[in-house]
Amino acid sequence: MEHVQIHVHAGAPALRLSNVISALSFALDLTEGQPMGHSVNCCMLGMRLADIIGIPDSQKRDLYYSLLLKDAGCSSNAHRMFEVFGGNELRAKREVKTQDWTRVSFEGLTYLMRNVMPGRPTFERLLTLANIAVKRDATTGEFMQLRCERGAQIARMMGFSEITCQAIYRLDEHWDGKGYPDGLRGDEIPLFARILNLCQTLEVFMSVNGLREAMQVVEERSGGWFDPELVTALMTLEGETEMWGRMQDGTAQSWVIENEPHSDELIADDSRVDNICDAFAAVVDAKSPYTHRHSRGVTRITLAIGEKLGFDTGITTMLRRAALLHDIGKLSVPNNILDKPGKLTANEWETVRLHPYYTQRILERIDGFQHLAYIASAHHEKLDGSGYYRNLRATQLPMPARALTVADMYDALTANRPYRDGLPVERALEIIGQEVPRALDADCFAALKELSPCPGEDPDPNS
């Protein structure tokens, strides 16, 4: 049977760190319930604000990457928000940016009424609402602590400075001392964290209600949420029509890449790229307790199959990264679907089926990752065209994609899921074997069977 060939050249162009991180920030937008492009918009705005207030060039790179990675910890509180609210946590996260539920107000009550236990009996909803209201401060603190700690940790995994990590950690502190995680006040809050909070709030309100109303909100919260001097500086940018236009027409990423601080652009060597892929795999796996080791498990199995099939070094490097990032599009799926113990509705299943589409859209934004994006987003495709999201057929699926599909299916079958316990190895292999060779590759399946009894097992339980 004819196979699509994937060629990886040793002399491929070097990857710019700004390109890699700005592209992957689109995944962070998804897990925060924002339209893709939110983080690069914030970065563009934050860097212009840095120019206005005179931040030295030597410090701008730390701000630049903290703006792009500000939401790196957002997946870590997704399951907990689902447990507390009982609904679509992506919608709840999106709305909380514009409606403050942490204050006792009509606005806060309507937010809770929309997002707590939707579709459940009235009495059950009222009990949950009352419980949330009583524990409001503690619950908010828990959500923010999870997000802030994990975000800083992810940035450290990627090798960014402690200044960047602290800006991410302090993202939700407020000028008046009523923010999170530690209630810092005024100048106690790192300057870069103050910039992050201001820029993200303005960008969200602008995307929903337009620039003029967004500016009004920022002015109203000056001295409360925001540093008044930063707000004053931000107001001077209102007339920069080109910047606001780029934030609205989807071209902010190109500006962000072109305007990375310092003239010596940072090149991400193989080790740095691998660290970034590992870190983003951790972001993906943190979204649900049922997938907390999935990306790493799939990667180990995929590479073991590839070794059996004799993949060369270039293919193996590409395939490792594709396996780590294959589910990055799953950050678009809310946890009330991911963690649902029962059968999915047709609409819910369609949401799940679209996650490889988002994987493709995110990864193809990285120059030089086009083949990787194709392989990663094909992990649910089948040889007979019965897979998703593109219904590819055998001649369109190269061997690395086939190996990834088999590995993903094996890991999913042997892992615990909300609707069933993990299956024994023998049963998982039996189920996979029923789709060979019609839908799954026979050589990849044979390689899987030759592995140890638990090919997806992590030898280090703490890794």
Residues marked active site are found at 330
Is the separation of the CB atoms in 156 and 108 below 8 Å? no
Is the separation of the CB atoms in 449 and 429 below 8 Å? yes
Is the separation of the CB atoms in 406 and 432 below 8 Å? yes
At residue 288's C-alpha, the angle toward residues 286 and 291, to 5°, is 85
Is the separation of the CB atoms in 401 and 378 below 8 Å? yes
DSSP per residue, 385-445: S-SSSS--BGGG--HHHHHHHHHHHHHHHHS-BTTBPPPPHHHHHHHHHTTTTTTS-HHHH
Q: Give me the helix-helix angle, 399-414 and 313-325, nearest 10°.
A: 40
Q: Which of 68, 19, 25 is nearest to 268 (CA)?
A: 19
Is the separation of the CB atoms in 431 and 377 below 8 Å? no
Spatial distance between the Cα atoms of 431 and 414, rounded to a whole number of angstroms: 11
Backbone angles phi, psi at 384, to 5 degrees: -95, 5
Q: 393 - beta bridge partners? A: 384
- For the chain, the distance separating the N- and C-terminal CA atoms, rounded to the nearest angstrom, is 39
Amino acid at 459: P
Spatial distance between the Cα atoms of 76 and 31, rounded to a whole number of angstroms: 10
Spatial distance between the Cα atoms of 238 and 248, rounded to a whole number of angstroms: 14
Q: Which of 80, 75, 192, 221 is nearest to 140 (CA)?
A: 80
